[in-house]
Amino acid sequence: MAAVAAEPAADAVAAAAEDREPQREAKPGLDDQWHQIENAESGRERPLQAGESWFLVKQHWYKQWEVYVQGGDQDASTFPGCINNAELFEDQINWRLKEGLVEGKDYVLLPAAAWHYLVSWYGLEHGQPPIERKVIKLPSLQKVEVYLVELLLVQHTDMDTILTAQFSHTDTLDVVLSTAREHFLVEPQEDTRLWIKNSEGSLDRVYNTQITLLDAAIETGQLVIMETRNKDGTWPSTQLRGMKNMAEEDEDFQGQPGICGLTNLGNTCFMNSALQCLSNVPQLTEYFLNNRYLDELNFRNPLGMKGELAEAYADLVKQAWSGYHRSIVPNVFKNKVGHFATQFLGYQQHDSQELLSFLLDGLHEDLNRVKNKEYVELCEANGRPDQEVAQEAWQNHKRRNDSVIVDTFHGLFKSTLVCPDCGNVSVTFDPFCYLSVPLPVCHKRVLEVFFIPMDPRRKPEQHRVVVPKKGNISDLCVALSKHTGIAPDKMIVTDVFSHRFYKLYQLEDPLSSILDRDDIFVYEVTGRIEPTEGSRDDIVVPVYLRERTQARDYNNSYYGLILFGHPLLVSVPRDRFSWEGLYNILLYRLSRYVTKPTSDEEDNGDEKGDDNDEEEEQENEAIVDEEGKEEIPGPSNQGNIQESEPEQPGPSSGINRRCSFLLDNHLHSSQWPPRRRRKQLFTLQTVNSNGTSDRSTSPEEIQTQPYIAMDWEPEMKRRYYDEVEAEGYVKHDCVGYVLKKAPVQLQECIELFTTMETLEKENPWYCSSCKQHQLATKKLDLWALPEILIIHLKRFSFSKFSHEKLDTLVQFPIRDLDFSEFVIKPQNESAPDLYKYDLIAVSNHYGGMRDGHYTTFACNKDSGQWHYFDDNSVSPVNENQIESKAAYVLFYQRQDVARRQPQPDSSVPSDSPAFKSSPGTEFMDVN
């Protein structure tokens, strides 16, 4: 109920009152009058009923009438005369009730029938309007609403023209909006929304117009502003906030609706791609453009976003399909998504399919027609026919989920689980919103490795070898052996990082632990790296190269060591395993890029070194324990490594056996030479797996680490070490090999999806017959397909050791994708269109796991032309450009839906919005 007043003339009100005044009737007897007014079913004693009309009568007149009828004399001087309520009004112009009137003191309330009786018998004072009020139902009682809520209505574009209107507390905000639209002459196709000025002077956006003024706590005197959407789909309030979506474009631009880019806000290409795909689903876009969503917004759904996500998406669609934008800035939508799904906060890159899944689920819950979800038990077949179980499952699904998203995107699976022990079969039917189909995976991979031969004259060789994805390190050695002619048992595979061994692999280690970015070095050896006492095999020693460098200390007297070059695995015969023998073997292994000094250079070196003999002897003096054995030298500054990068703890060697007998029986000390008697190119020292031998290293720890460091003086390295030659390598013919990936058909992916599989250990099934969890076999079949079928190609593969993207070319049809062979539900042969689909959009992903870029191909619903959407750039394309290795999410439309697709209907009124009053989420400037 709404009463509108804009200072009407008194005579107009009086004329209206005369029209409403019934004709005078003959008065019944006084006793009959009393009975009809006081005691009859239509009299004052009748109970209140919500929605009924009651009328106010001045208390003084009614009391005089009571005296008159109770006196029993129709000709008595107590005759009350015409009903006169003048003293109940503030004035006789607007006929507004006085404030603070009290029932029983100032007025009495009469039901409609009693009022009409009195007016017909006695008449109503000329020009006075009847004071009609409705009975309203409050949470705890019913009452006559004497005082209405008086609101001040204005338009956003004209704040000076104020319309005063009265509303019941039980009127919804939709009534307020309809009243404002009617009196401000808003066209039916125009979108409007309300803002209400609160007690603090700020404006709150009204979302839910289906709630009452009482629930919204709207009081008399509040200002209500109606805002009308611009023709380009934006709202004036957002433009006033400096968030105009048209970026550097002229206001007169008008193009094809839907051909509109989305600005990248910073790694939001995934969002733009998902939105462009969804925006080009014809029936969903028409649903929002024609405002059908307004009647279905669900504000009380605890699983939804209170209608805000649906409204934000609607605003985006209206702007994109207005034809007035080349591109828009989706910052409002981005903020809404981040507010309700914190994983999308910030500006990190995400997956377009993950956002699409959230968006479809969020829109569904915001638009769910089911206001109160009932509990529904999962139904199993238990031997019943499939059609009966499927129908029951779909009906149960619709009892809790009924929205435009369900109508458009939801289909039905048949899931069959078989227990491997007792043979128990469980059949259920489950809804789906999209198909995530696997790609046929190649079971081989290509690894790039460097092979280091024992022959010092040969340079390292770069190889590309094909190995099984689920193989072991031994498989890598076998594959490399075919290229090199070296037996697999003569190879050790390592991971080299930052001039040190990050890992020394065992033959049984899985190849999945090797990442594509790892630097894999394979060394030819003649022994093993885990020597055992009594064995005759050669000893394999890991060797690091270090350069002595003067560190920056306060007195410039501190010396450090820095790793350089590639580490070595050197095979040393047991009879030559001594410091002298190791030195000579290393000279031989490095002979390709290390020049041996001449005898003259050695003599000169001896003379230069004599002055420092005493100091060096002191530095290299070994510590002798109580048993007289020579152990690790005492801590010295030259044993520390100063590097610009942090030490890598890493798995390192994986060696667990103690090798102290090497030191005790062969090397006798951990540093050589103990005294410099002739010029050496480098010195040798035992170190740990990181290449350090700092003060914190205990003798026991060193004895378990068979690592040796070659320490070079800067001058010696400069004169005798050829860094360019040391870094040289050759490429084997196999380096040009590329593992060819044959394209696969989309139908193959769907076949894989419907193939029987065995559940993994992490996801067992509880068998109701065995009463325990089982690794059952599972098979999914397609029972019913939706109008829009979304097919997600599972290009991203995740395992314990690696993440990879499958760049296999999937060939998919643009038209006539036939699902008849995959749908197991009995088919209607007279309607083949129910199983054939045409492509309407593709979300693309370019790049790898760590970085990438999303774009979209989409077919415009109005023109039928395909376009390429790359953030804010849009360009037309041909159909032969759509298929590529980047295709990630495919959108297909069923052909029967496409043929009956209705044209846009602009005649649908937009005067039934359903928003929610939510303070503080948006701001509007009215100045």
Say if residue 673 is preceded by a cis peptide, omega within 30 of 0: yes
Task: Encode 39-78 in three state secondary structure.
Answer: HCCCCCCCCCCCCCEEEEEEHHHHHHHHHHHHHCCCCCCC
Give the list of residues 6+ apart from residue 5 with CB closer than 8 angstroms, or none.
Answer: 94, 96, 164, 165, 166
Give the list of residues 6+ apart from residue 485 with CB closer than 8 angstroms, or none.
Answer: none
Q: How far is CA 14 from the centre of its chain?
A: 64
Q: Of 677, 727, 710, which is closest to residue 548 (Cα–Cα)?
A: 710
Q: Which two tokens stand for residue 205?
A: 């956006």
Verify whether residue 853 is a known catalytic residue.
yes
**Count of C-beta atoms within a 10 Å radius of residue 675:** 10
C-alpha–C-alpha distance, residues 654 and 108, integer Å: 98
Q: Which two tokens stand for residue 124?
A: 């109503």
Verify whether residue 277 is a known catalytic residue.
no
Residue 586: phi and psi, rounded to 5, are: -65, -40
Q: Of 773, 752, 781, which is closest to residue 419 (Cα–Cα)?
A: 773
Residue 913 one-letter amino acid: P
List the beta bridge partners of residue 584.
Answer: none
117-121-126 Cα angle (round to 5): 105
Candidates 156, 169, 260, 269; catalytic one: 269
C-alpha–C-alpha distance, residues 229 and 388, integer Å: 49
Instruction: Answer yes or no: are the C-beta atoms of 276 and 869 closer than 8 Å.
Output: yes
Instruction: Answer yes or no: are the C-beta atoms of 209 and 916 closer than 8 Å.
Output: no
Instruction: Answer yes or no: are the C-beta atoms of 159 and 926 closer than 8 Å.
Output: yes
C-alpha–C-alpha distance, residues 133 and 112, integer Å: 10
C-alpha–C-alpha distance, residues 668 and 863, integer Å: 87
C-alpha–C-alpha distance, residues 834 and 820, integer Å: 9
Residue 291 one-letter amino acid: N
C-alpha–C-alpha distance, residues 228 and 237, integer Å: 10
First to last CA, the chain: 31
Candidates 339, 483, 732, 853; catalytic one: 853
Element (H, E) at 226: strand 223-228
C-alpha–C-alpha distance, residues 476 and 58, integer Å: 104
Which residues are designated catalytic? Answer: 269, 853
